[in-house]
């Protein structure tokens, strides 16, 4: 297994490179009868595509998705689904000077050492352009989960650099998230974040931050102990996204400063259903969903490609100075939102099908 597939029953395999012919995926195990159109998938891809605002890369890709199999008369057939988007705005010449140089923070060195060859055109397979395929597959999973189970999946930018929002996670709406280009539901903080990103861009630098993910109305019982805990698979899903350097769920790292008497979520009955007064566990107990809201945070590093001069080495192990050119995001967080949503949907969809197969 080469690491290009994700999921067990709802399984995706992605393919393609940043400046190759295109990017896409094969979805296997999708239930039949789901109504889905290219336009619905495109709506999610439009949230991820480059060139959508002044704080994203200026590369112009429409990311137009094509359904090549597995969907007939507007419904999934239960057979493998092939989704693909052709690359249009390809400029491999922008990377000619990087053929023999290992860029700081990139996968250039490790890919060369692992495979003995690398696609230097915009990072090739290591490029975040691969995530287009995940978002396309996630659009189908999101629709199924919403229509069949009433599950709502959201994520939003909660921190850029040192600027944080303390917005109430439980009341955040998609409309609030999409109301500004940084995708932060706190309008005042969003303006500060945008100003910071523009400043960093002018300085030929980059900045990172945190995305908060939320999964609402998830039924009780999803998750497979011991190694396939729902929380563990969410962690793997998020850590597989380019530039992600950290993940925590529920109280996360802040929980270490609490006592057990403070951290334990006390059970109670609400409207005839078992619930908890607090939700420090983040919606899972023993790695299995408990019916409460699932929430987590994803830490994303500053984008590695920057215009500032940096010292590095080339393939001959000689010291060189690099001043990167090309089209890059000064902050990747706004475009990462639909990727986090998609990976959440893929995890929950897979665990829902696994739960059904065992408990039908």
How many Cβ atoms are within 10 Å of 295's Cβ, its own excluded? 21
- CA–CA gap between residue 128 and residue 66 (Å, rounded): 20
Run of H or E including 189: helix 187-202
Peptide bond into 226 cis (omega under 30): yes
What does the pLDDT look like over 181-219, one tens digit per residue?
999 999 999 999 999 999 999 999 999 999 999 999 999
- CA–CA gap between residue 314 and residue 309 (Å, rounded): 15
What does the pLDDT look like over 209-256, one tens digit per residue?
999 999 999 999 999 989 999 999 999 999 999 999 999 999 999 999
Q: What is the DSSP letter of 30?
A: P
For the full predicted model, state whether its pTM sits above 0.85. yes
How many Cβ atoms are within 10 Å of 1's Cβ, its own excluded? 4
Task: Give the chain's radius of gyration (CA, Å).
Answer: 21
CATH number of 5-359: 3.60.150.10
CB 61, CB 48: distance < 8 Å: no
Among 207, 152, 163, 209, residue whose Cα is nearest residue 186: 163
- CA–CA gap between residue 141 and residue 235 (Å, rounded): 18
How many Cβ atoms are within 10 Å of 78's Cβ, its own excluded? 13
pLDDT number for residue 118: 87
């Amino acid at each position: 297994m080469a690491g290009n597939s994700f999921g067990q029953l709802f399984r995706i395999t992605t393919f393609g490179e940043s400046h190759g012919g295109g990017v896409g995926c094969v979805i296997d195990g999708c239930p039949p009868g789901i109504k889905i159109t290219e336009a619905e998938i495109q709506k999610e891809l439009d949230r991820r595509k480059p060139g959508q605002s002044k704080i994203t890369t200026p590369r112009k890709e429409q990311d137009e998705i094509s359904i090549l199999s597995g969907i007939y008369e507007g419904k999934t057939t239960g057979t493998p689904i092939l989704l693909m988007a052709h690359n249009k705005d390809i400029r491999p010449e922008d990377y000619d000077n990087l053929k023999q140089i290992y860029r700081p923070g990139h996968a250039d060195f490790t890919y060369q050492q692992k495979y003995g060859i690398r696609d230097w055109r915009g990072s090739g397979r290591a490029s975040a352009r691969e995530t287009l395929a995940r978002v396309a597959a996630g659009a189908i999973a999101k629709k199924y989960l919403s229509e069949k189970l009433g599950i709502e999946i959201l994520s939003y930018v909660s921190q850029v650099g040192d600027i944080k929002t303390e917005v109430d996670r439980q009341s955040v709406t998609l409309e609030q998230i999409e109301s500004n280009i940084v995708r932060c539901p706190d309008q005042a903080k969003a303006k500060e974040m945008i100003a910071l990103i523009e400043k960093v861009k002018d300085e030929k630098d980059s900045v990172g931050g945190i995305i908060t993910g939320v999964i609402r109305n998830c039924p009780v019982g999803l998750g497979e102990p011991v190694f396939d805990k729902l929380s563990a698979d969410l962690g793997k899903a998020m850590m597989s996204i380019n530039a992600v350097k950290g993940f925590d769920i529920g109280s996360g790292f802040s929980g270490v400063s609490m006592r057990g008497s403070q951290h334990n979520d006390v059970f109670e009955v609400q409207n005839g259903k078992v619930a908890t007064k607090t939700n420090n566990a983040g919606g899972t107990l023993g790695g299995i969903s408990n019916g409460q809201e699932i929430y987590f945070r994803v830490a994303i590093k500053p984008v590695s490609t920057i215009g500032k001069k940096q010292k590095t080495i080339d393939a001959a192990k000689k010291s060189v100075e690099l001043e990167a050119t090309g089209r890059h995001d000064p902050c990747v967080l706004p475009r990462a939102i639909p990727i986090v949503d998609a990976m959440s949907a893929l995890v929950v969809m897979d665990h829902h099908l696994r739960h059904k197969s065992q408990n039908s």
